A and B are shown apart, each in its own frame.
Chain A
Amino acid sequence: MCTECILDAYSRYAYSVVMSDEVKALLPLQPTTFHILLSLTDEERHGYAIILEVARRTQGELKLSAGTLYRSIQRMLETGLIVETRNRPAPELDDERRRYYRITPLGKAVAEAEAGRLRDLLKMARLCGVAPRTT
């Protein structure tokens, strides 16, 4: 067995030990949820800003509709992945109808765990000779 494989197996074991049950229960994440979490990692955003940020990050490939966004937001609020924040921008930049959302520590942990899961998946694919083509 190669060293890389041993290291990989160990990292997977260590990862599963540290990952809490609460986080585990939420995996795997739906792509929409993952993207929303990612869009909130750097700053608090309102709904439309999330749509724009996700579109920017995916180079326009994923364009969330308002309905899908708020259905996901409602679920993420319930599961505690995000919270609504009271911090608002300066009044001249604000629209009172907007709600701003912030990622929670749990949200962050779940996003990290999902990223780890995807990384493991990618590694496994690579080991099997199925590697994504680099452009």
Chain B
Amino acid sequence: MNFYRLLLHLYPSSFRAEYGDEMSSIFALELDRSSGRAARCGLWVSAFAEIVFNAAMVHWEIARRDLFHSMRSLLRSPGFTLTALLLITIGIGANVAVFTLANFVLVRPLPFPQPDQLTKVWEKHPGYPRMELSPANYRDLMASSRSFTTLAAYTGYSMSLVGQGEPRRIEGAVVTANLFSLLERPALIGRYFRQGDGQAGAPGTVVLSYSVWQTAFGGDREIVGKPVSLDNQPYTVIGVMPADFRFPTRETLFWTPFRFKETDYLDRNNDMLDGIGRLKPGVSLAQARSELLLIAARLRKQYPKENEAVDLSVFALRDELSEDSRLLLKGLCGAALCVLVIVCANLGNILLARSLARERELSIRLSLGANRRNLLRHLLTESVLLGLAGGVSATGVAIAALPLLSRLVPSRLPVQQVPSVDVEMLLFALALTVITVIAFGVAPAWQACRGAGLNGLRVGVRTGGAGRHGARSALVIAEVVASVVLLVSSGLLIRALWRVQSVDPGFTTSGILSLSTDLPFPKYNKTSTREQFYGKVLTEVRRLPGVMDAAYITALPMTWGGGIWPVEVDGRSRILTEGNSASLRFVTPGLFSTLGMGIKLGRGVSDNDTADRPWVAVVSESLVQRYWPHEQPIGRHFKFGFHDREVIGVVGDIRARGLERTSEPQVYLSSKQDLDDGLTYYAPKDLVIHSSQPSELLLPAIRQIVHAADPEQPISDVRTMDEVVAGETESRTIQMRVLVVFTGVAIVLAGLGIYGLLAFTVSMRQQEFGIRLALGAGHGDIFKMVLVQGAVLAVAGLVPGLALAYIAARLMESLLAGVRPADALTFSTAAALCLITTLLGTLFPALRAVRADPTAIMRAE
């Protein structure tokens, strides 16, 4: 029977107390009357089943009734309900959106089987911890390494797709044949590369991405085996990858195999391959790293000149994100948490206020025989209902906000751009809702039930004891703390953004239009063929009305970090190190005037700098500073890009790598001074035009000019230099905007929190104020009393808030672009803003306190 009594605990306690004894006695009777072991067993089994079922039904009936009552009670106070819903939506919505994004970028496994085994392999040069591999080092590494099941390599490459509508430039990758088997993702249709596809002389093969297959080939199921023309070369489509396959970036639309020639292995400094490896099961990253160090040491011994100081290193593919990208997202997560703290504090406050206001109702219900436990359950049901409704709307808000935040997903991550809504996200939203509801629903409900009693029925009794007032004050202080942290953080990031935006890029940005005409090879392998194209395009473009100048360059400033070569002066140093590197760009005459880069010394590249004349270079000031400080640089010689070059001019340095990092010195070479089949990878492709006309007016004419020069040549990447520079600060700007919104919400909520608390206190203390006024206190004294109360709350939050803000600022120091974490201006502005908001929140309650009419109050008492 004890077990039966134990089973009865599945029922709600009220039901058990009411009917438990009788049910037990009935069961005992039935047990007595049953004869035989089998009958008793049957009785137990059916008793167990019916108790489980009926207990669940009783619970459900109670819950249904509670839900009905709670719904009615919430609908009776729409103001409170809407406010609470809005708060939950803001707090949880912000957190779900930001944490989903952070989880997507920083945590979620990459979409490949066993993603933890995927690693990136890098060369390590002094000053360059992550350098691509040269084909020769890649081949040696493949032969020696035992840590990987497969080692593959790839490099980004764009090609002109001709014959499928308008010619267009598409981004793709050249990959070693084993890349797809390494990634372990089968093709959607057809196959991926085999070893034979990568051999020199093998016919051209291409694997298409799902998106290019859909857009350019109409999703043709019979595509496999069909020819396509890429860069005017015939390729055969051998397969199509699935829609969710993205590698190495989400912009990659096709893959072709590397076909290395023996000559590719000659130069060990031709660092052009991105290495990727799949670790053997059981091999750790550390083990692989130490093996690579040994291999690098052996290669250094074997090739002391070429591999001098070159090391090898390996990192998890998941960690291929810049520290700043991580910090940016972590900062947003911190800000979202601050918003949640503020929202929870506000929610707690309004729930506490409501519980105080309902004390009378609850007291009446108690005195009419309601059970305290039932009341508590009813109040909790209200919170749960609010939480769930808020949680649903918050998830909706988060889903809507995700595309807006998706620009914070780095493009180099092989994942889709917008995080998908998944179970993880929904569970997070649910967990957050439950935590919020429990944390801020339970306490007020408990307080209300504890407080309700006979006291609540007494007319004239002032409810809201010191304890509850203390709790509400603590919540308001928490709001102030979180708002100050947010205010300071956004302030510092705004200042950092301004500072970055005010950095002089070293070239003119306004009035400059740029576009790419990526020339296909081998069609343009000859320098003279390329020059003909440039000549035709530039001559015609310069004739257009409003165009001041135009020129070609290998790559626009800030758009490409590659093309870094070692500089050899007087036979010193051969391998690439931070101390001898410079960026190589081929340019046509007129580039410096087009981009407004003043020539400091000598002259720029001219039409006469042809291959049969001395090979010349225009260098930036920092290169002169490095090699010929206080000396005349013009006429000096150095070896760069396989050839000896003579310095003919000096220009100012530009921020070639972006606004936020210093760049290597720049070397500009004449586009005519390259051998046929030479550095074709560096052939100028970006056209820059300085014009007084808006780009929309210029573009049609430019398209015609390019089409006339080569009808198969597509145009891509049309943008102004202003846009290029703005792109530099895009993720910062988005993060800052989100932060500013968070901060705005936070400060308004904090102000409202203080207002709510003081308004409530003032209404509770009307009687006291009336008496004080009657006893001769001045209106000013009462006003001061309330004001001081608000100020105390503000200062109590301000002090720890500023300290926490400083800690937060130190944590995100690398995002501050040189703004000091203890920036006095930001801190004082944040403190002033916080004080003003809290004082505004205090002002109205204080004025109300002053308006207390002692006669009316005394009469009412």
In the complex, the answer to whether B47 meets A74 with C-beta atoms within 8 Å is: no
Q: Which listed residue, B19, B29, B53, B61, touches A70 by the CB 8 Å rule?
A: B19
In the complex, the answer to whether B50 meets A51 with C-beta atoms within 8 Å is: no
Total of A-B residue pairs, C-beta within 8 Å: 51
Q: Digit string of A39-69 for contact with B (CB within 8 Å is 1, else 0)?
A: 0000000111001000000000000011110
Complex alpha-carbon distance, A129 and B291, angstroms:
91
User: A residues within 8 A CB of B21?
Assistant: 97
Find the residue from A67, A71, A99 having the highest chain B CB count within 10 A: A67
User: B residues within 8 A CB of A68?
Assistant: 50, 54
* Least distance between A89 CB and chain B CB atoms (Å): 15
In the complex, the answer to whether A73 meets B19 with C-beta atoms within 8 Å is: yes
B51 within 8 A of A: yes
By beta carbon, the residue of chain A nearest B57 is A71
B682 within 8 A of A: no
User: B residues within 8 A CB of A119?
Assistant: none
B328 within 8 A of A: no
In the complex, the answer to whether A51 meets B26 with C-beta atoms within 8 Å is: yes
Classify the secondary structure of B's interface with A: helix
B80 within 8 A of A: no
A95 within 8 A of B: yes
B23 within 8 A of A: yes
A24 within 8 A of B: no
Q: Which listed residue, A67, A74, A95, A99, touches B53 by the CB 8 Å rule?
A: A67
In the complex, the answer to whether B54 meets A71 with C-beta atoms within 8 Å is: yes
In the complex, the answer to whether B22 meets A65 with C-beta atoms within 8 Å is: no
Q: Which listed residue, B25, B29, B47, touches A65 by the CB 8 Å rule?
A: B47
B27 within 8 A of A: yes
In the complex, the answer to whether B23 meets A66 with C-beta atoms within 8 Å is: yes
In the complex, the answer to whether B22 meets A67 with C-beta atoms within 8 Å is: no
B41 within 8 A of A: no
By beta carbon, the residue of chain B nearest A48 is B26
User: B residues within 8 A CB of A98?
Assistant: 22, 25
User: A residues within 8 A CB of B799?
Assistant: none
Number of A positions contacting B (CB below 8 A): 17
By beta carbon, the residue of chain A nearest B51 is A67
Q: Which listed residue, B23, B25, B29, B61, touches A67 by the CB 8 Å rule?
A: B23
* Least distance between B658 CB and chain A CB atoms (Å): 71
In the complex, the answer to whether A47 meets B26 with C-beta atoms within 8 Å is: yes
In the complex, the answer to whether A75 meets B61 with C-beta atoms within 8 Å is: yes
* Least distance between A90 CB and chain B CB atoms (Å): 19
Q: A47-B26, A48-B29 are known contacts. Are A67 and B18 too (CB-CB below 8 A)? A: no
Complex alpha-carbon distance, A47 and B19, angstroms:
10
* Least distance between B25 CB and chain A CB atoms (Å): 5
User: A residues within 8 A CB of B18?
Assistant: 70, 74
By beta carbon, the residue of chain A nearest B18 is A74
User: A residues within 8 A CB of B61?
Assistant: 75
Q: A65-B47, A65-B50 are known contacts. Are A70 and B22 too (CB-CB below 8 A)? A: yes
In the complex, the answer to whether B22 meets A97 with C-beta atoms within 8 Å is: yes
Find the residue from B21, B23, B26, B58 having the highest chain A CB count within 10 A: B26
User: A residues within 8 A CB of B25?
Assistant: 48, 95, 97-98
Closest 9 CB pairs of A and B: A67-B54, A70-B19, A65-B50, A66-B23, A67-B50, A97-B21, A66-B26, A48-B26, A71-B54
B residues in contact (CB < 8 Å) with A = 15, 18-19, 21-23, 25-27, 29, 46-47, 50-51, 53-55, 57-58, 61
Question: Could you jot down 13 A-B contacts, CB within 8 Å?
Answer: A47-B19, A48-B29, A65-B47, A65-B54, A66-B27, A67-B55, A70-B54, A74-B15, A74-B19, A74-B58, A75-B61, A98-B22, A99-B22
- Contacts A70-B18, A97-B21, A98-B25 known; list 5 others, CB within 8 Å: A65-B46, A67-B47, A68-B54, A70-B23, A95-B25
